[in-house]
Amino acid sequence: MTPKNSSPEPEHHRSGTSKAHARRPDAPSAGPLRGVRGADGTRPAQLSGGVVRENNRNQVRPATEGWDQQTTPEGRPLLQFKSPRVSQPPAHLADLTLEERQAKLKELGLPAFRAKQLSVHYFQHYTTDPELMTDLPATGREELVSAMFPKLLTEVKRLVTDNGDTIKFLWRLFDGSLVESVLMRYPGRITLCVSSQCGCGMNCPFCATGQAGLTRNMSAAEILDQIVQANRVIAEGGLGGLRRDGGHDAERVTNIVFMGMGEPLANYKRVMNAVHRMVAPAPEGLGMSARNITVSTVGLVPAINKLAEENIPVTFALSLHAPDDELRDDLIPVNSRWKVDEAIDAAYGYYKKTGRRVSIEYALIKDMNDHAWRAALLAKKLNSRGRGWVHVNPIPLNPTPGSIWTSSDPDVTRTFIQTLEDAGVPTTLRDTRGKEIDGACGQLAAAE
């Protein structure tokens, strides 16, 4: 969901802490572009609503590089909200609630208590190996395991950063589809960036994932198996980056971000089934904290509103990347369906319903969306809905010479952040991870 040269980490993991703090609702707003000047030293031109546009700044327009977007007969980028009708993976224990697992075992002529034993092995021991399930009768054990744990993900490739604290996995699914996930260790926590679809139907021009369109939705169990397999790797000592200061090291995945392949809210039912299983106490699920699960979207407004009614306090992230419809219509094609203000309204509604602060993801792209006037416009739109409800995460891209999808200049990045902070919007530049292994969100293209 974020540009192909960016980092996979969410707002939980930063390179620094914002100096800005949410002001009281009655506090006066700072000037939109205090002290900002153009390249020639002149002040930017004044626009309506107190927002100003810089003089002498280029405006690069979004365009694909090396591939062609699928388009409608009217010439607009094609959007795929529904998965094609293709075969789905066989039912897996992780697709079912504990009660449903018990019912299935009774259908197989087995006692219901076996459901708990199988669940312990999968969600707590991270195994589907019948040889390790010695609490099950030897007779029929392999057949039972085969019925409850059909093979979902097969590891094809594993790329590890030089210091060992980040791993990108390439998985092959039952039908040959390929997806990727990225595992990252931080002091005291471990984050996994998971995929939710094979491909993506949002057709964003900057995203490697969406170039081939949407193949199919992933099942809840396929989403969850990314976590279970990552936990197995951690338990086996496969993830480096352990602390040397005597501090606590996490022993399993503690944080989930739905920022891998796919648009999570376009696969709403299966994603939410997976989330329910993530937060369910062991052994029904993984026993994770909902607050450590981040669900991201490019702006599917009806699904955002539905998410607010789920009564699960996940962290919500809106991948905005532009505050004006003129640019976002081309940068994020779904903006042709739900405009910037509609998406921000839905994000604010999520905050009002849940009390959970919302994250705005904003990849800084040189001369495309990094203008200070856009930072001022973004601050104006966020502050008009209230204070203290939102946090902005500018995302640095990798420098990519010759590409329009390249990093902002450092001074431009500082000005963009300072503009938001001066307006009272909490802002933190996101930490970067996985660049050397193409592990950034939007870089995930699942190629062997």
Q: How many other β-carbons are positioned within 10 Å of the β-carbon of residue 243? A: 12
Q: Is 207 a catalytic residue?
A: no
**Partners of 319 in the β-ladder:** 361
Report phi then psi at 199, rounded to 5. 80, -165
Indicate the DSSP class of residue 79.
-
Burial class (CB in 10 A: 0-12, 13-18, 19+), 12: middle
- Output Rg (C-alpha) for the chain, integer angstroms: 23
What does the block give as tokens for 241?
């980056």
Are the beta carbons of 395 and 362 closer than 8 angstroms? yes
Among residues 9, 180, 222, 284, which one is catalytic? 180
Strand 390-396 to 358-364 pairing:
parallel
Indicate the DSSP class of residue 221.
H
State the Cα–Cα distance between residues 394 and 362, nearest whole angstrom.
5
State the Cα–Cα distance between residues 71 and 85, nearest whole angstrom.
20
The SS3 call for residue 217 is strand
Q: Is 180 a catalytic residue?
A: yes
Strand 154-160 to 166-172 pairing:
antiparallel
State the Cα–Cα distance between residues 398 and 6, nearest whole angstrom.
6
**Partners of 160 in the β-ladder:** 167
Angstrom distances, CA of residue 218 to CA of 92, 116, 153, 446: 13, 25, 11, 14
State the Cα–Cα distance between residues 133 and 7, nearest whole angstrom.
39
Q: How many other β-carbons are positioned within 10 Å of the β-carbon of residue 48? A: 5
Among residues 198, 200, 204, 441, which one is catalytic? 441
Cα 361 vs. chain centroid, distance in angstroms?
10
State the Cα–Cα distance between residues 223 and 179, nearest whole angstrom.
10
Which amino acid, one-letter code, is at 319?
Answer: S
Residues tagged active-site? 180, 441
